[in-house]
Amino acid sequence: GENVEQHPSTLSVQEGDSAVIKCTYSDSASNYFPWYKQELGKGPQLIIDIRSNVGEKKDQRIAVTLNKTAKHFSLHITETQPEDSAVYFCAASTGFQKLVFGTGTRLLVSP
Amino acid sequence: EPEVTQTPSHQVTQMGQEVILRCVPISNHLYFYWYRQILGQKVEFLVSFYNNEISEKSEIFDDQFSVERPDGSNFTLKIRSTKLEDSAMYFCASRWERGDRRETQYFGPGTRLLVL
């Protein structure tokens, strides 16, 4: 079955810096890759997603890139703000069915 | 904005007791899911449900677990005889699909289950 690896496990940046989180997946059949933000005590909230027919997608300060050949995808956050501090999870799916999550990255943005 | 809701937010139970976790998916969604997250770990898939039947389940989802859509709005997860290792946050999710158009899963806020 699918296995998703995520790095780093923790990431500390200064406000205004960029943050990059990387994930790799194992199943070449996976074709949908969402990113979720989880704040303390809350459920995962979708922040951006990408489908396998697209190499890059951007939404304001957030972007995601996908390399199907290498089976990896990355989340890029620019101009980080303290409210970006949270745990970020990548996930992979085939046909929007069950999501296989990465292990999470705790992002801390210091003022 | 429509959202997935879950009740209760917290549940404490004794080992061996039955618990029912409840979810109200987004109203026009037809695909429903349960996931769990043990403290400090990643979110794990338990089961998916469509058209009143289980479409996929994980190894975690053994005979102690069951799901039901008892009416047009609720989606429940039952654990028949809870074990200490069932202590986790349980998330319900739902998504919309029609023809070739599919959307992502939206998650509820979770139920924190503690088995003593």
> What digits encode the pLDDT tens for the residues A22-65?
999 999 999 999 999 999 888 899 999 999 888 999 999 999 99
Chain B residue numbers touching A36 (CB-CB < 8 A): 107
For residue B66, the model assigns a pLDDT of: 97
> What digits encode the pLDDT tens for the residues A3-27?
999 999 999 999 999 999 999 999 9
Token pair 């349980």 in the structure block, residue: B90
CA distances from B40 to A22, A57, B53 (A): 19, 29, 31
B107 CA to chain A: closest CA distance, Å? 6
Query: Three-state DSSP class for B1?
Result: coil
Query: Three-state DSSP class for A26?
Result: coil
Q: How far apart are CA A61 and CA A104, in angstroms?
A: 20
Q: How far apart are CA A35 and CA B35, in angstroms?
A: 16
Report chain A's mean pLDDT, rounded to a whole number. 94
Tell me which DSSP letter residue A55 carries: S
Residue of A nearest to B109 (CA): A43
Tell me which DSSP letter residue A93 carries: B
B109 CA to chain A: closest CA distance, Å? 4
Q: How far apart are CA B22 and CA B11, in angstroms?
A: 11
